Amino acid sequence: MDAQLINPFIKATLNVLETMAFTKPTPQKPFLKQDIKAKGDVSSIIGLSGESKGTISITFTEACILSIVSNMFGEKMTQLDEEVMDAVGEIANMISGQARQELEGRGKILYAAVPTMIKGKDHTISHKTTAPIMAVPFGTEYGDFTIEVCFEE
């Protein structure tokens, strides 16, 4: 996978969380993920199609997503309920939209499917292809989250 493909997703993640949740995450070193186990408690996954086939996902620890959604709603959220799950999907949706806009500017047009959400300790993330999975962890004052991007060449 072209490593440059991940940069629009990192930028979009920072922009979405800063704008909608007033949170400034710190991106850490990207790595190639070797397994399908999620690095957190709740994930959203979006399939992408068009010039490439792929998947993006975002996985939050429980403490991290509860604080982020509390900021988005202006109200304290205390459990991974339907509203928080919905917000995880919408965050992934916004990141996908922003990143695809930048990729379109580079001549790569991608279409996104509807996000799906998963929760639970030790849940797994099934990417659409067997291409290498590029993961980027982020730190926030509330806890960590990770985005994963997986594209066919």
Partner 1 sequence: MPLDLNMNVLVVDDFLTMRRILKNILKQVGFKKMEEAEDGAQALDMIKNADPVFDLIIADWNMPKMTGIELLKAIRADPELKHLPVIMVTAEAQKSRVLEAVQAGVSNYIVKPFTAETVKTKLEQVFK
Interface ranges with partner 1 (CB under 8 A): 15-16, 19-20, 69, 72-74, 82-83, 86-87, 89-90, 93-94, 96-98, 100-101, 104, 109, 112, 114
35 bridge partner residues: none
Closest to partner 1 by CB, 3 vs 97, is 97
Least separation in angstroms between CB 72 and partner 1: 6
Say if residues 48 and 56 touch (Cβ distance below 8 Å).
yes
Closest to partner 1 by CB, 21 vs 150, is 21
| DSSP label at residue 74 | T
Least separation in angstroms between CB 36 and partner 1: 26
What CA–CA distance (Å, rounded) separates 133 from 74? 34
Closest to partner 1 by CB, 33 vs 41, is 41
What CA–CA distance (Å, rounded) separates 82 from 89? 11
Least separation in angstroms between CB 114 and partner 1: 7
Phi, psi of 11 (to 5 degrees): -60, -45
CA atoms within 13 A on the CB side of 39: 17
Least separation in angstroms between CB 11 and partner 1: 12
